[in-house]
Amino acid sequence: MQPIEKESVQRQLQTFFNKEVYVHLETTNGAYASHFNEKVMTVGAFIRNAKVHIKQGKITGDHPYRVGLEMEIGWVYAEGLTDWELNNQGQLLLAGHDFEGRLAVALQLSETPFA
């Protein structure tokens, strides 16, 4: 992965507009959380291969970044994104890594289901 370049990511996001695509979205502090500190709450969310129709979307912010994707009846939103790549299957992979390089958030789009 490489650091996000807003214009490049926006161009890639646009290739998924007005199509049914598969979304992977996850957030985590799971293995990185302090499970023995009652003042730290462990949180996470995970969805894989949700099939959605994306109407439009945009990347905003100044490192870390936010991506919002408008669907027919709602939104998908990810914040804290730092890195991206377009893999050889045409899947757009966006991730947010903390200062130690650990994954905190991932948003991925594909025209085919994720393995």
Residue 101, judged by CB atoms within 10 A of its CB (0-12, 13-18, 19+), counts as exposed
**Predicted confidence (pLDDT) per residue in 44-100, tens digit:** 899 999 999 999 999 999 999 999 999 989 999 999 999 999 999 999 999 999 888
**Predicted confidence (pLDDT) per residue in 4-52, tens digit:** 999 999 999 999 999 999 999 999 876 555 556 677 677 789 999 999 9
Assigned CATH topology for domain 1-21+53-115: Protein Yojf; Chain: A; (2.70.180)
Q: State residue 70's pLDDT score.
A: 97
Q: State residue 98's pLDDT score.
A: 87
Q: State residue 37's pLDDT score.
A: 66
